[in-house]
Amino acid sequence: MALFVIASCQLMVVLDITIVNIALPHIQSSLDFSTTSLSWVVNAYTLTFGGLLLLGGRAGDILGRRRVFIFGVLLFVLASLLGGFAQNSGQLLGARALQGVGGAIASPTSLALISTTFREGPERNRAFGVFAAVSAGGGAIGLLAGGMLVEWLNWRWVLFVNVPIGLLIVLATPRYIRESERHPGRFDIAGALTSTAGMVLLVYGFIRAAQDGWRDPLTVASFVGAVVVLAAFILIERRSRQPITPLHMFADRNRAGTYGIMLCLAAAIFGMFFFLTLFVQNVLGFSPLAAGLAFLPVSAVIAVGAGLASRFLPVYGPKPFMVVGAILAAAGLAWLTLTDVHSTYAGSVLGPMLVFSLGMGMEFVSLTLMALSNVATPETGAASGLLNATQQVGGSLGLSILVTMYGTASTNEAEKQIPDFLRQATPSERLRFEQTGQVPKPWSDEILTAGVSAAFIMAAIFTAVAALIALVVIQVRPSDLERLKGGTGPGPM
């Protein structure tokens, strides 16, 4: 029951990243977002989530993980309620950012609770397997749930649905989860603020570049500001007695490699869900519910990949699953680059999506176990927060880069399609184009598909880099395998 409560919280937090994705076309028309600015509905959540995860992990270490866990869930519930009632884009983005704060408090604490609740060895391996499967598969479940809610109710219910789930978790937590030991320490507020601000500036720079070009003054200023603020963050962490990001975590090559792999893979999976959601609804013409059902196989195959990795990790170690998983993910994304306006779901989307999902299922179990293996108990919150932070920051940064690729490719395609449209357009269509700047089908499908294909090319490059890191950096020793089997092999993993 403790694992059920912990996994339910993680599912709610991860699900909220993608449950909104299925509603994006409806949010766009309801609150007047452009396609590139629409990514902020995702990034407003993931940036505060990723930027404050480390602070949330430290809060659990210092104040008690169960107490902090409950507070984070309650804040998440409140933000979801506010987002559901949003009347304009600013209110929605503010609520999404507050959701990210709640998730940043609850998520690393839930992962740390696994480390302190389950014994190292097969028991903890299985718990991590469940947690990783929920983390990876929650995205597809969110798309299905979002499709049902948008189809049967409206887009606001993708936020309202968190309220009863979160309240049930809060009621169950004191009964099934014991409070952890509190460890003395201080909060690194300066580190948390500079890391979050630096990433916001970096992501804004990429999205601004997609809209206004690389030479735009605000684009350049954003990148310069990001470099300055992130440099200040590193200096703060080096001088702090209790940094929010313990830099010694990166001294272990396996753990540093794990964080690098997670950064790349998160960029790919965020991009895959974001752009495929737009493609299947806008080009293939799927309803929200049909789009959600289209992603359902992703959860099943991720669970298969996670189960295989959990079963054979003690035998082969995590490295083979890291390498093979990243290669499969890269192959699936490379396959998706072949989609065009004549593609079908069964012929062009389902196959590559399943190959990608099998690889991601293998990856998440291996990465979760590797990142937290042999971490001192007082630092499990920081270690789990750092793993989650790399996932969310990698997703936000990666999505912004992919949006930039999308914007450049779609703009180039629009320059080809608009003259053809104007030659065939009726007077009313010309007038509508002058007012909105948008072209109708089939020209809009060509523009969107060109941008989506370009984004998948970059996503495939991200996963190829992850495979290279796994192959070159990760090292597994016999003592590490002994620890996975429940023994006490020496040395960090």
Each residue's pLDDT tens digit, 251-263: 777 788 888 898 8
> Does the structure show a pLDDT above 80 at 379?
no
Vertex 122, ends 118 and 126: CA angle to 5°?
70
Write down the pLDDT at residue 380: 63
Lowest mean pLDDT among 211-220, 341-350, 404-413: 211-220
**Helices 189-212 and 217-239 meet at what angle, rounded to 10?**
160
Tokens for 417, please give them. 């399609």
Cβ atoms of 110 and 56 within 8 Å: the answer is no
Q: Please report which confidence band the pLDDT of residue 492 belongs to, taking 50, 70 and 90 as the band edges.
A: very low
Write down the pLDDT at residue 135: 66
Cβ atoms of 132 and 303 within 8 Å: the answer is no
Question: Residues 6 or more apart from 388 whose CB is under 8 A from it?
Answer: 49, 50, 53, 57, 107, 108, 111
Counting residues of the chain whose pLDDT is more than 90, the rounded percentage is 11
Query: What mean pLDDT comes out for the span 120-137?
Result: 68
Quote the CA–CA distance of 136 and 18 in Å, as a whole number: 11
Quote the CA–CA distance of 61 and 188 in Å, as a whole number: 13
Q: Please report which confidence band the pLDDT of residue 400 belongs to, taking 50, 70 and 90 as the band edges.
A: confident
Quote the CA–CA distance of 336 and 316 in Å, as a whole number: 31
Query: What mean pLDDT comes out for the span 368-394?
Result: 70
Burial of 185 (0-12, 13-18, 19+ CB in 10 A): middle
Vertex 165, ends 162 and 170: CA angle to 5°?
115
Tokens for 449, please give them. 């598909």
The secondary structure of 139-206 as a DSSP string is HHHHHHHHHHHHHHS-TTHHHHTHHHHHHHHHHHHHHH-PPPPP------HHHHHHHHHHHHHHHHHH
Q: Which of 3-12, 212-221, 456-465 has the highest mean pLDDT?
A: 456-465
> Does the structure show a pLDDT above 90 at 447?
no
Cβ atoms of 156 and 202 within 8 Å: the answer is no
Quote the CA–CA distance of 10 and 19 in Å, as a whole number: 14
Lowest mean pLDDT among 29-43, 155-169, 300-314: 29-43
Burial of 164 (0-12, 13-18, 19+ CB in 10 A): exposed
Write down the pLDDT at residue 115: 66
Q: Please report which confidence band the pLDDT of residue 484 belongs to, taking 50, 70 and 90 as the band edges.
A: low
Quote the CA–CA distance of 449 and 455 in Å, as a whole number: 10
Each residue's pLDDT tens digit, 68-94: 888 888 999 999 999 888 888 788 889
Write down the pLDDT at residue 488: 42
Write down the pLDDT at residue 137: 62
Task: Write down the pTM of the prediction.
Answer: 0.75
Vertex 300, ends 254 and 1: CA angle to 5°?
75
Tokens for 403, please give them. 């949006």
Query: What mean pLDDT comes out for the span 216-239?
Result: 87
Each residue's pLDDT tens digit, 306-319: 888 878 777 777 88
Write down the pLDDT at residue 183: 58
Any alpha helices (H) in 337-426, and if so which ranges?
350-372, 380-424
Write down the pLDDT at residue 282: 85
Quote the CA–CA distance of 125 and 485 in Å, as a whole number: 9
Say which residue, 392 or 416, is predicted with more confidence. 416
Tokens for 307, please give them. 């189960």
Quote the CA–CA distance of 236 and 453 in Å, as a whole number: 40
Write down the pLDDT at residue 140: 65
Vertex 77, ends 75 and 81: CA angle to 5°?
115
Q: Please report which confidence band the pLDDT of residue 103 belongs to, taking 50, 70 and 90 as the band edges.
A: confident
